[in-house]
Structure 1
Amino acid sequence: MMDDGAIIALYFARDEAAIRETDQKYGRLCYCIADNILHSRPDSEECVNDTYLAVWDRIPPARPECFSAFLCRIARNLSLKRYRRNRAKRRDMATETSFSELEGVLADISPDALQRLEAKELAAAISRFLRGISREKRYIFLRRYWFFDPIDAIARRCSCGAGRIRVILFRLRRSLAKFLREEFV
């Protein structure tokens, strides 16, 4: 498999082999991200293809330091955009559950403070929170709320029971709510 620097060089050379190499190295990861959000094979495959097109359009001029993170972010954002469009037509309970779990965290912050918050400030605060917790808890949090993995899948990945994962996520949400209240109140 080609290393990321060589793949980026192919994009800069406008060589279509860049897309083939990207798919070979990261196709399954992009599909997993899309499918965890969309739960639809055709929509997920289309989002992966849209991801490759978006990367083709952004490189050049962008020269990402971490190609996999760059790619995952695009795949996730495109999948969320598709999810919102699909959600207007019908409800998807699996992803909806992940969103509703986090709504309670923001509900603890006063409406005035929420209005003053910009998305970048909130993202920076959540990043600070994540840096302050253990690696295992950070992994569980990100698998649930970034990758939208089901609790059972996270439990299998962590070799523990689903109940333990639920408890950890509950405590993390409570800790995050407290952290955000202290940050923004």
Structure 2
Amino acid sequence: MGRTMGEEAENLEDGQIIELYWSRDQRAIRETEGKYGKLLHGIAWNLLRSREDSEECVNDTYLRAWEAIPPARPGALRIWLGQITRNLSLDRWKSRRAEKRGGGAELLLGELADCLPAPAGRGRAVEDLELAETLNAFLRGLSREGRAMFLRRYWYGESVAEVAAALGCGEGKVKSSLFRSRRALRDYLEKEGIAV
């Protein structure tokens, strides 16, 4: 959404946006979209490859934020919103994958299939939390460039070409780095006692 003449051209700080949510000021949505809309659309598009589905997931993200704040007070608004969009997009992808197979999330999940444990039943929330902590420790151990490549590819869903362009390197370098990182992740998880 564009801003009117009387509005500031600069984005508000995250704390100011959160205060708008807390005061139930509908400008919170506009400010969120202005500051993070492009990022959220990118996340959804990279997973879904559908403009309509991406738009719906981003709009649902704004709705979820409106419903959650208050009582929630996210410490890192950008990450919190990105996680909502990513989860909504993955849910949408799962519901649509029976209709159409191919790129997007299926390709990303296929690349990580040999590195991550298969979903389990009960007690999964605790296992997911432990896995998340282990993944964070693994990522902290990667070089800054390796971590950026891994996150851009597997969290933000960027293509290898997009990762290479963003980091100013060749696609071959990205592919080999991701291959080494996936292999290292598998070894790391096994060393930590997580069955892959």
TM-score when scaled to structure 1? 0.92
When residues 9 and 106 of structure 1 are mapped into structure 2, their CA distance, relative to the original with a 3 A threshold, is closer
Alpha-carbon shift at residue 161 of structure 1 (Å): 1.0
| Alignment partner of 1:56 is 2:61 | no
Matching residue of 2:193 = 184
Residue correspondences, number: 179
| Alignment partner of 1:23 is 2:30 | no
Matches within 5 A, 1:64-143: 64-106=74-116, 118-143=127-152
Bigger proportion of residues as helix: 1
Alpha-carbon shift at residue 96 of structure 1 (Å): 1.6
In the alignment, structure 1 segments of 5+ residues that lack a partner are: none
Alpha-carbon shift at residue 75 of structure 1 (Å): 0.9
Matching residue of 1:174 = 183
Alpha-carbon distance between aligned partners in 2 of 1:94 and 1:59, rounded to the nearest angstrom: 30
- CA displacement, residues 10-36 of structure 1 (integer Å, 9 cap, x when unaligned): 100111111011111111111011101
Matching residue of 2:4 = none
Matching residue of 1:159 = 168
Alpha-carbon shift at residue 158 of structure 1 (Å): 1.3
TM-score when scaled to structure 2? 0.87
Structure 1: 4+ residue segments shifted above 4 A: none
Alpha-carbon distance between aligned partners in 2 of 1:2 and 1:92, rounded to the nearest angstrom: 39
In the alignment, structure 2 segments of 5+ residues that lack a partner are: 1-10
- CA displacement, residues 148-184 of structure 1 (integer Å, 9 cap, x when unaligned): 1110111111111111111000000111111011001
